[in-house]
Each structure stands twice: as C-alpha cells, then as structure tokens.
Amino acid sequence: MKNNQNTPKRGLAAMIRGKKFASILLLICIAVLIFPALAYATGDGAAENPSHFYMTAWSLLPPIIAIGLALITKEVYSSLFVGIVIGGLLYSNFSFEGTLTHVFNDGIVAVLADSYNVGILIFLVILGIMVVMMNKAGGSAAFGRWASSHIKTRAGAQLATIALGVLIFIDDYFNCLTVGSVMRPVSDGSKVSRAKLAYVIDATAAPVCIIAPVSSWAAAVASYVEDGNGLYLFIRTIPFNFYALLTIVMMIFLALTGMDYGPMATHEKNAKEKGDIFSGMEDYANAVNENSNPNGKVIDLLLPIAVLIVSCIIGMIYSGGFFEGANFVDAFSNSDASIGLMLGSSVALIITAAYYLIRRSIKFKELAEAIPEGFKSMVPAILILTFAWSLKAMTDSLGAKEFVEAVVNNSASSFQAFLPAIVFIIGVFLAFATGTSWGTFGILIPITLAVFPLDNPLGVVCVSACMAGAVCGDHCSPISDTTIMASAGAQCNHVTHVSTQLPYALTVAAVSFVSYVIAGFVPNAIIVLPIGIALMIATLLLIQKTNLWQHK
C-alpha cells in the first residue's frame, strides 16, 4: 500500500526534476546560440589579455548563467559556483589548469585577501555577535514586548520598519542587518511574513542611502566626479532619483492598503491566516538562540544600537581624515566604508559587552558563547558574498566593464532626449548582471559626464538615471551583496526574498522608466517628480483593481 501511495509522489518528483533539468539545458542552449552572434562585437584590448573572450558579449555569460540557475534551481551556492567556473573556463580558453588557478587564486582567494572585503566580513561577524548578545541579554525580547503593546497592526509594523530603515541611512550593509535584528520580533508578532520584512529592509537600504547626502553611497558617487564637485552634483540628482523615491512611495502605499501581489501575496496570506511567516522555507528558523534574559529591558537593545550608529559615524569620518584636519563633509566624502564600519562596530562591540557585564544582563560564559553563535548566524551571508565577489572578479577579468562601456560610448551621442531612460535601462541590466551598483556607477557616471557638462540639466538627469538604474539592478539581482544581507537581516530564505521582491521592483522600474522619458524632454524635478508619484499610485491602484499579477 505504501508503494502504491509513494509511486505518484516519486513520479511527480521525477517530473519536477526533469523540468528543472530541461530548463537548465534550455538556458545553456539559448546562451550558446545567442552569444556567438555578439562574441566578437568589440575586440579592442583582446590582444592584451590571454582570453579569446575578453571584451566580448561572452564576458557577461558567467553572471547570466549564475542568475538563471539560481532562479531555476532555487539553490544559490552551487549556481554562483557554476558561474565562477564558467568565468574561469572562458578566461583560460578552456584550459583545466588555467581554470583551476584562475577560479581559486584570482577569484576566491583574491577576494578574501582583499582588505576592503575582509573589513566588510568582519563587520558582518561583529553585527552577528551583537545580535546574539542583544538576544541573550533580553533586549530584543523586551523591545518585542514593548512594540507588541504599542504596534497593534500589520500596517503599523511595516511602517515602523520603513521609518527605522529611513533613519539608518548611513550605509546599506549596516541598515540591512540592524533593521532586521530590531524589527524581526515586531514583524513576527504582527504576522508579517519574513519575505515581506526582507523586501522592506532591502527597499530601505540602497534606495534610501542613494538619496542621503551623508552616506557611504554619496561618498562613492562623489568620488567619480572631478574638481571636488561630487557632493554638489549628488545633491542635485536627488529629486531626479525616481527609482529610490518611488520605491518609498510604493512601500508606504502597500503598508497602508494591505495590498500584495505576485508570490508575495502567497507568503502574506500564509502569515496572516496560518501564522506561517516562512511559508515552509525555514532556513533561518533556528538561527538565533532564543534563551534570553526574561528581565531584559528595551534599553538593552536601544543603547547598543545607538552606540553602534555613533561609533560607525565616527569610524567613517576617522577613515576620511576628520581628525587630521578635514571638515565633516570632506571626511565623509573621502571615507572608506570598510574601515569605518569595521572600526566603529568593533568599538561598539566592546562597549556593549562591557555594558551587559556591568548590568549583569548576561554572564561572561554567555558572552563568550555569543561569538561563535554570531559567526555561525552569518555564515550563509558570508558564503554567498564570497561567491558573489568571486563571480564579479571573473566578469572583471573578462573585460565585461570595458565591453559595456564601449557599447554605451558608441550610442551615447544619439537620441539625447531619450538618453536618461536608455542610461537607466543599461544601469539596471549591468547592476543586475554583476550584482554591484558601485561598479555600475564607476562605469556609467564618467561616460555620462563626458557627454554632458555639469551645468547641463539633462546631464544631471542622466547621472541620476545612472544611480537609479544601478540601485534598481542591485535591488533585483540575487547576487547583490545588499540583497544577500537583506535576506540575512530578515532571516529569510534568499531565493524566496529575490522571487517575491522582483515583481515589486519591476513595477517601480517601469514607472521610473516612463518618468525618465518625460524628464528627457522636461528636465525639471518640480514638474516630473509629482507626475512620477501620480503614475506610481495610479499603477498600484490599477493592479489592485484588476488583480493583475495575483498569485494563485
């Protein structure tokens, strides 16, 4: 009888596996058929590189394969590694030894030896340790009890998360993990799915940082502009950054109306009706030790976070030379996010540990146990980040940036009025494929500034389109470090986060594209921004009324 019952299940499982295998084969076949047509579209510089595929469309194949496999198989680690191996094969012209050395020596080992990357990893580990310490001290539970008594609705929980995300505008890494650790108990108590929490965290990370003049993102953008006009240009682009501004409008609309669509609707329905905040994908369900101090107070959570914010700000301006005579703005513009966040979080960790020991919120043994527990809680994020960085190293070694730059340069002089919308789409594609918005800034902003002078209003719109497109692509990409850390901060399955967030991000991207078309003809933010907001709200109302993209 058991055999008869299991046979259909086995048949179904085999069919699903067969479909996945067929999808993977189809993806590879499409790539093999399409890419040869473009393979030698631009060959300048190929002689300077041992790879036959340098500065050709083939350089974009590794991230495309990795992203496609991740979406098909729902498994991130192996998908990223396959993309890395394909990059190694193309770089070494399919040499076994060359592939092996390039993948490990020039890829994984090199990115882990990079001081900037190591600083980010240390920052992640320290935040993981602090989260475990706050849980053990009872701070998170106390805040959850306080929030439960004050935040009674799902809308309130989402709006509180949005507000906290907007307030923590210094850095997207810091934003993702801090907002996640603070708001998880609140959103769980209000039956908000982890997928929705991850979306709100991700949507208040990069989109908020890219419109905050005092942030690591502003510093990165300013660094690409000569003559010290970077921060001035950044401020002028803020009202034209339609993707970031419209994302905030969309989040508030969704929270207030309770509307959801696409795969997110299923997760929210499961959370509201069944109390299943994970919808069966419980990767992080037991990631944090819940044995906390029942006598914890809200101050045990708020004080460490306040210390962390202040310490990170001081660390950022320290790395920018503030204590060597630079003013605050210049110091922040010249800051090194990796050094600043690493030093700031280290000081915050020491102060927090001393505070808990003095208050006797946790014992020394529990403090020591928090170190490996915090490290373990960040292992998924660290592993994906390492592979994502390695994949970027593969595409860089194949000249992907130079290939895209050449394509953009060849077409930049045509269709000037449509250039903001074109730049936006290119930025989305490049950031999505490479998983890096900062790298996209570095490619597109210098090109845009070469086409338009700083005093040209259309040039400001185009620079803003570069930034908006980069953030949009970063927001959508499963190999983006910010997307990865939003999953870690919400403790949500990563592929679940990507698949539920994608329809929302694409909705805002579509409205932003239309807004940039309008801005190309009328480069006036006072006129275009209200039109963009009206279009965003109208689009959401249309989706709500017609049940478009309703996930069954």
Q: Which of the pair, 514 or 454, is modelled with greater confidence?
A: 514
84 shares a domain with 134: no
Inside any domain, residue 243 = no
Q: Which of the pair, 89 or 452, is modelled with greater confidence?
A: 89
366 shares a domain with 295: yes
320 shares a domain with 210: yes
Q: Which of 381, 400, 418 is the last residue of a domain?
A: 381
Average pLDDT in the 439-447 region? 70
Structure tokens, 171: 């850095």
Q: What is the pLDDT of residue 46?
A: 42
**How many other β-carbons are positioned within 10 Å of the β-carbon of residue 94?**
11
What would the pLDDT profile of 262-281 be if each residue is shown by its tens digit?
A: 899 988 888 888 877 877 55
Name the domain count of the chain: 2
Residues 270, 279 contacting (CB under 8 angstroms): yes
Q: What is the pLDDT of residue 169?
A: 74
CA 82, 88, 94, 97 torsion-angle sign? negative
196 shares a domain with 120: yes
123 shares a domain with 46: no
What would the pLDDT profile of 328-363 be if each residue is shown by its tens digit?
A: 877 876 777 778 888 988 999 999 999 999 988 888
Average pLDDT in the 509-525 region? 92
78 shares a domain with 64: yes
Q: Report the mean per-residue pLDDT for the chain.
A: 79
Q: Which of the pair, 23 or 91, is modelled with greater confidence?
A: 91
Q: Which of 113, 142, 172 is the last residue of a domain?
A: 113
**How many other β-carbons are positioned within 10 Å of the β-carbon of residue 96?**
10
**How many other β-carbons are positioned within 10 Å of the β-carbon of residue 532?**
24
Task: State yes or no: pLDDT of 549 exceeds 60.
Answer: no
Q: Which of the pair, 62 or 168, is modelled with greater confidence?
A: 62
Structure tokens, 466: 């570069």
Inside any domain, residue 178 = yes
Can you name the residues that pair with 262 across neighbouring β-strands?
A: 550
Percent composition of the chain: helix, strand, coil (DSSP 3-state, to 5): 80, 0, 20
186 shares a domain with 48: no
For 402-468, give the secondary structure using H, E and C. Answer: HHHHHHHHHHCCCCHHHHHHHHHHHHHHHHHHHCCHHHHHHHHHHHHHHHCCCCCHHHHHHHHHHHH
100 shares a domain with 63: yes
121 shares a domain with 82: no
Residues 225, 448 contacting (CB under 8 angstroms): no
**CA separation for the pair 491, 277 (Å, rounded):** 11
Inside any domain, residue 60 = yes
**CA separation for the pair 453, 223 (Å, rounded):** 17
353 shares a domain with 336: yes
Can you name the residues that pair with 550 across neighbouring β-strands?
A: 262
Task: State yes or no: pLDDT of 551 exceeds 60.
Answer: no
129 shares a domain with 164: yes
119 shares a domain with 109: no
Locus of tokens 């030894």? 97
**How many other β-carbons are positioned within 10 Å of the β-carbon of residue 509?**
22
* Amino acid making up residue 171: D
- The C-alpha angle with vertex 75 and arms to 208 and 276, in degrees rounded to 5, equals 70
**Among 123-127, 229-233, 328-332, 376-380, the least confident range:** 229-233
pTM, entire model? 0.66
Which alpha helices (H) appear in 39-95, and where do they start and end?
Answer: 61-73, 76-91
Inside any domain, residue 36 = yes
Average pLDDT in the 243-259 region? 93
Average pLDDT in the 418-443 region? 80
Provide the 3-class DSSP secondary structure of residue 361.
coil
What would the pLDDT profile of 97-151 be if each residue is shown by its tens digit?
A: 889 999 999 999 998 998 878 887 888 788 788 878 887 888 777 876 777 678 8
Q: What is the pLDDT of residue 108?
A: 92
Inside any domain, residue 371 = yes
| pLDDT cut 90: percent of the chain above it | 21
Inside any domain, residue 358 = yes
Residues 121, 344 contacting (CB under 8 angstroms): no
Structure tokens, 246: 């419209």
Average pLDDT in the 61-72 region? 77
Task: State yes or no: pLDDT of 442 exceeds 80.
Answer: no
Q: Which of the pair, 71 or 351, is modelled with greater confidence?
A: 351
Q: What is the pLDDT of residue 510?
A: 96
Task: State yes or no: pLDDT of 539 exceeds 60.
Answer: yes
Which residues constitute the domain of residue 27? 2-113
Task: State yes or no: pLDDT of 550 exceeds 60.
Answer: no
Task: State yes or no: pLDDT of 322 exceeds 50.
Answer: yes
Q: Which of 358, 381, 404 is the last residue of a domain?
A: 381
Residues 76, 384 contacting (CB under 8 angstroms): yes
Inside any domain, residue 427 = no
H/E stretch holding 165 = helix 154-167
Between the two ends of the chain, the Cα-to-Cα distance in Å is 33
Q: Which of the pair, 353 or 62, is modelled with greater confidence?
A: 353
CA 367, 371, 374, 376 torsion-angle sign? negative
Contacting residues for 144 by C-beta, under 8 A, at least 6 apart:
185, 186, 188, 189
Q: What is the pLDDT of residue 3?
A: 43
Inside any domain, residue 486 = no
